[in-house]
Structure 1
């Protein structure tokens, strides 16, 4: 899955995220059914690469990655951040916060779960149109206000929300100009 040029609209329906969209030589979402089929046959790891508005390359490598089927809301299963990274630009990118979450789109939100986090307090979750993309935010982990990693939302720095794809973690706030998720069999 890749978002670099901002030409592909990621504000899509549940069905579009299920089937996939875009072009593999450009911006694209592989499709949740395809991701499920790929990651549930063998063990896989995940690497997320991103570039911020200053041109700095960031990455995160997770030791395991898979999603469940549509019946289970494409629930995310992501392992811990790998300790094997040697580059100082390795960061968690906040993705482990979503472990166990079901996928959501503007036209398909999973029912509420009872947990200590109240996603109604998160102003961004209430307006999925503003987020402009599907993601694993059944609940958004709240740290102070609302911190999250929605890696495939608006990427045009001159339009849309703030200055680009906004990534907030416990330590830092980033505005990303490109993001890419790479899945590899281990």
Structure 2
């Protein structure tokens, strides 16, 4: 039987992860002062050092035992990250934040529960009892109480990351959490089936300002079910941004080589990305980034300069927080520090 360690934290409405009632404008002010500036400021200048393998496709065993979230799987020339405008923590600008305890954190909320408070790149262990290598992710530790694991990040940079990729690439994940990246559908499936997660969309608008939307429950089904998405329980956000997320509900994932959308053609081929498409006209956050990213939701088209999609355990939105930190009965070694 697995020996499971649980950490239970009882917090009031003013606790670090507590969701206190806010007006929409107050929530937007908080979003603007945290996720947008933190992502740019903490972007390192270090280039990719690995050479992408353009001949070998990732396999399921590769994903489980040697997850390659950080390998650019298609683009011969890797993207050049933005130059940081400031360096609040020079020691962590080119390496992930250390794990500060003996637990194996499954997500960014686990890191927060053991004291992490600074947004940046962290190691997580999303594959239960696989003893696989850790996955690097961007953790938003400030927006709306923090503890958010970013699974898609888009921003303007010198060379944009190519998101027009195959099913296997979106299954495994690609890019760098220091700049643009996609975490991977297999990781999202493993994470959202081990816990109940909320989802949040944050966008910075080219016209100035920002918008966001959150839903209480988000789940990605297994590959044999087309990595279909489940979405329930709108919590907060603007009308247009709320519609952006609702288009995902019940949809199968489509890539340029796997067509599962309702359009007569292939939306991934038409739009130049991959997503849980309703049709080719609506929300596509992986389309071509040409100075800005154009998003159409609820009939409104807007130019976006930054975008993050992120998840956090749904229980973080209540005053009673209990987070499963680690499975110690799998024969796994202590997490890497």
TM-score by length of 2: 0.44
Conserved in 2, the CA contact under 8 Å of 1:57 and 1:89? no
Q: 1:183 Cα shift?
A: 0.5
Unaligned runs of 5+ in 2: 1-151, 315-337
Q: For 1:30 and 1:126, locate their aligned partners in 2 and report how far apart those are by CA, in whole Å.
A: 23
Conserved in 2, the CA contact under 8 Å of 1:155 and 1:178? no
More helix by share: 2
Conserved in 1, the CA contact under 8 Å of 2:294 and 2:302? yes
CA separation of 1:129 and 1:90: change in aligned 2, threshold 3 A: closer
Instruction: Find the counterpart in structure 2 of residue 119 from structure 1.
Output: 263
Instruction: Find the counterpart in structure 1 of residue 155 from structure 2.
Output: 4
From 208, 215, 233, give the equivalent of 1:62.
215
Aligned-CA RMSD value: 2.2
Q: How many residues align?
A: 161
Q: For 2:303 and 2:206, locate their aligned partners in 1 and report how far apart those are by CA, in whole Å.
A: 6
Conserved in 2, the CA contact under 8 Å of 1:152 and 1:179? no
Instruction: Find the counterpart in structure 2 of residue 105 from structure 1.
Output: 255
Instruction: Find the counterpart in structure 2 of residue 72 from structure 1.
Output: 225
| 1:96 to 2:246 alignment | yes
CA separation of 1:170 and 1:127: change in aligned 2, threshold 3 A: closer
Superposed CA offset, 1:79-134 (max 9, x none): 13214x5xx68831421122000000011112x7xxxxx623xxxx5563341211
| 1:19 to 2:172 alignment | yes
Q: 1:149 Cα shift?
A: 0.5
Superposed CA offset, 1:35-75 (max 9, x none): 00011101000011011211321111111111001000000
Unaligned runs of 5+ in 1: 113-117, 141-145, 158-163
Conserved in 1, the CA contact under 8 Å of 2:219 and 2:231? yes
- Of structures 1 and 2, the larger Rg is shown by 2
From 121, 125, 134, give the equivalent of 2:274.
134
From 188, 193, 207, give the equivalent of 1:35.
188
Q: 1:150 Cα shift?
A: 0.5
| 1:149 to 2:302 alignment | no
Instruction: Find the counterpart in structure 2 of residue 143 from structure 1.
Output: none
Q: For 2:231 and 2:182, locate their aligned partners in 1 and report how far apart those are by CA, in whole Å.
A: 18
TM-score by length of 1: 0.78
Conserved in 2, the CA contact under 8 Å of 1:46 and 1:64? yes
Instruction: Find the counterpart in structure 2 of residue 160 from structure 1.
Output: none
